[in-house]
Chains A and B, each alone.
Chain A
């Protein structure tokens, strides 16, 4: 299998889908002639032309809403947000329109759209550019949220998201774009709502998604080597729908849970999962459910301090050790 970057894996997903289905088009700021602010859409404008790969003015509310309207009419827009942080100026279109129009029309309408872009901290761009709105979006029934950690998952989940007939909010990570991994050529899908066990273990379940999966894997290796503790690492991949079964099966095996989350702690994704495990698997637990999340402050600019804000292997290990 070819080794390609996360960025290239997404690019391949777009080119597969643009080729397969005429109703798919890409739209966003700088996605076409400039090749994408993070080069995720590189070369696609040259290949598919201005009808299918479209540069927009800086008008998030208008082009997100345009995407919703076009999707109601049966097109399949893939709308790029240069940063998910910029979604906040177009939030009405995502939540009220993409998220609610099916319900309020009694099921007469559906919105097969993908809204995508990076949603991560850790790059010293300050608080306004470092939001991780997966919990906010997943709080709206009607929307789906996907956060891939690896190139393989990114491509398969993107193709599945484009083919999905509901709105999928696809959250990437600028720190992952350059990571490489084995990715099959051609088309394949990874269903939404299926978690992936990235590392088998017996003593504790690490539950994570996005870049936190890689941090959790690193911590798991150290924990094994230095403490003889075997951690299972589960990658949610999709936040909503959620693969509860895989999580509960792992908890029933390890009896200990640590959630690792680059989201903020208050009503974050890990809070939802902790509640779910407490509700459904309390009797399986030999220790309290604990979390390692982003520190509960706006993302700081200063480089060494920002590194402390996101989960680190050290924080994961010391938290994990308190559970034994």
Chain B
């Protein structure tokens, strides 16, 4: 259960937060608002039948991705699961390319080939967007392995859900990360539920999920996701630990999603109470908490807030216009982006038959 106390003075005074300029603090708020407004637009058009498949909203969890992205040093690499819109926007992907992807359009970040769960931007050190629960976790290991192999002073940020923790490959990966001294921070976004299954019904724990790391000789801690300074301070320490000592760290971040598991989840008021949802919105909303903090610090004014939020809403609305106006992918594109060598028309790509559909 998340506590209602505000960020402590102590974490606000952590060097990484003292170095956080007023502009950066406002930028963090802007990012969170952009994510929320983007997803609200997405929800609206999903409900109008403009999108296929699933739509897993990040609303309620925005602080986590934004805090992590605010600490990336240009060498760090990020990877997450299917609840990936927030991370994508936080690392700098545009609303337009993301919205167009949701609409299945050619201008989407994955050219309409990946959808909601599969956003990628390697140029922004963002490696997806993965639909198989915990499937991304060993990929995160690989990112960390490559950083170490190439002697790049960065770390991998590998996000997973509280439900994902129970996949076997997570245990394998924690072991390998520790055994091989890989620079990786595993970040469990514990929103209390995996689909309709509460943490209590899915996980055998003593006090928390993160302490499983102790069995792998790995440092761990638990963080309140509503506290932006605390998030940044702990993430920073963990990332520095990974970068400089090459030791992995496991963090568990207490957070909450307001919507159902996906929008198709009509049951989400059955496995949890309306009161529970309201109580999180009232007392723990990461955006309200951060706004409040910045108002207190007198960095933010009500009118600034209004204009930042207004701009985020406009940007989100514009991204829908962009997506709607964008073309569908051409049928020929079904057969591109499968083999690199074929796409390059290299000798390897031109040798032998790669696709077996009857072309007649």
B175 part of interface (Cβ distance < 8 Å): yes
The stretch from A62-70, A115-123, A222-230, A305-313 touching chain B is: A62-70
Give A249 Cβ to nearest chain B Cβ, in Å: 14
User: Contact at B352–A66, with CB atoms within 8 Å?
Assistant: no
Complex: how many Å from CA A36 to CA B155?
Answer: 31
CB–CB B142/A68 < 8 A: yes
Chain A interfacial residues counted at CB < 8 A: 55
Enumerate chain B residues within 8 angstroms of A166, measured Cβ to Cβ: 339-341
Asked whether A64 lies within 8 Å of B337 as measured between CB atoms, the reply is no
Complex-state Cα separation, A57 to B77, whole angstroms: 25
Q: Restricting to B117-146, which residues have a CB under 8 Å from any CB of A?
A: 118, 120-122, 127-132, 135, 137-146
State the CA gap A194–B57 with chains docked (Å).
48
Chain A neighbourhood of B130, CB < 8 A: 97
Q: Are A192 and B352 in contact (CB under 8 A)?
A: yes
Q: Is the CB of B356 within 8 A of A103?
A: no
Which residues of chain A from 128 to 155 have any CB-CB distance to chain B below 8 Å in the complex? 141-142, 144
- Nearest chain B CB to A19 CB, angstrom units: 17
Residues of the B chain whose Cβ atoms lie less than 8 Å from the Cβ of A71? 142
**How far does the Cβ of B218 sit from chain A's closest Cβ, in whole Å?**
15
Cβ contacts B329-360/A at 8 Å (1 or 0 each): 00000001111110110111001111110100
Among A66, A107, A112, contact of B145 (Cβ-Cβ < 8 Å): A66
Minimal beta-carbon separation of A260 from chain B (angstroms) = 20
Q: How far is the CB of B198 from chain A (nearest CB, A)?
A: 25
CB-CB < 8 A to B127: which residues of A? 69, 72, 109
Indicate which residue in B132, B139, B337 contacts A69 across the interface (CB closer than 8 Å): B139
Q: List chain B residues, Cβ under 8 A from A265.
A: none
Alpha-carbon separation in the docked complex, A70 to B348 (Å): 22
Contact B139 A59 (CB under 8 A): no
B71 within 8 A of A: no
Contact present for B139 and A65 (CB under 8 Å): yes
Q: B176 touching A63 by the CB < 8 A rule?
A: yes
Q: What residues on A are CB-neighbors of B142 within 8 Å?
A: 65-73
A59 with B175, Cβ < 8 A, contacts A69-B139, A103-B113, A108-B121 known: yes
Which residues of chain B come closer than 8 Å to A272, judged between CB atoms?
356
- Docked-complex contact B340 and A70, CB < 8 angstroms: no
Contact of B120 among A92, A109, A240 (CB under 8 A): A109
A276 interfacial contact with B, CB 8 Å: yes
Contact between B169 and A61, CB atoms less than 8 A apart = yes
Q: Does A93 contact B (CB under 8 A)?
A: yes
- Is B225 an interface residue, CB under 8 A from the partner? no
Q: Are B352 and A65 in contact (CB under 8 A)?
A: no
Please, which residues of chain B bring their CB within 8 A of the CB of A68?
138-139, 142
Question: How many whole Å from A172's CB to the nearest CB in chain B?
Answer: 20
Does B110 belong to the interface (CB within 8 Å)?
yes
The answer to whether the Cβ of B194 comes within 8 Å of any Cβ in the partner chain is no
Name the residue of chain B whose CB is nearest to the CB of A98: B139
Contact of B172 with A by CB under 8 A: yes
Contact yes or no, A106 B176, CB < 8 A: no
CA distance A164 to B348 in the complex (A): 7
Indicate whether A69 sits within 8 Å of B352 (C-beta atoms), given known contacts A59-B175, A106-B114, A166-B341. no
Minimal beta-carbon separation of B349 from chain A (angstroms): 9
A-B contact pairs, 24 of them (CB 8 A): A57-B176, A64-B138, A65-B141, A66-B141, A68-B139, A70-B146, A72-B142, A93-B169, A96-B135, A105-B110, A106-B109, A107-B337, A110-B340, A141-B338, A141-B354, A144-B339, A191-B348, A194-B352, A240-B354, A242-B353, A244-B352, A244-B353, A272-B356, A279-B358
Besides A193-B354, A194-B352, 6 new A-B residue pairs in contact (Cβ under 8 A), listed by A number: A59-B175, A62-B141, A62-B172, A69-B139, A73-B77, A106-B113
Residues of A near any B CB (own CB < 8 A): 25, 51, 56-57, 59, 61-75, 92-93, 96-97, 101-110, 112, 141-142, 144, 160, 164-166, 191-194, 238, 240-244, 272, 276, 279
Residues on B close to A: CB < 8 A?
Answer: 77, 79, 108-115, 118, 120-122, 127-132, 135, 137-147, 149-150, 168-169, 172-173, 175-176, 179, 336-341, 343-344, 346-348, 351-356, 358
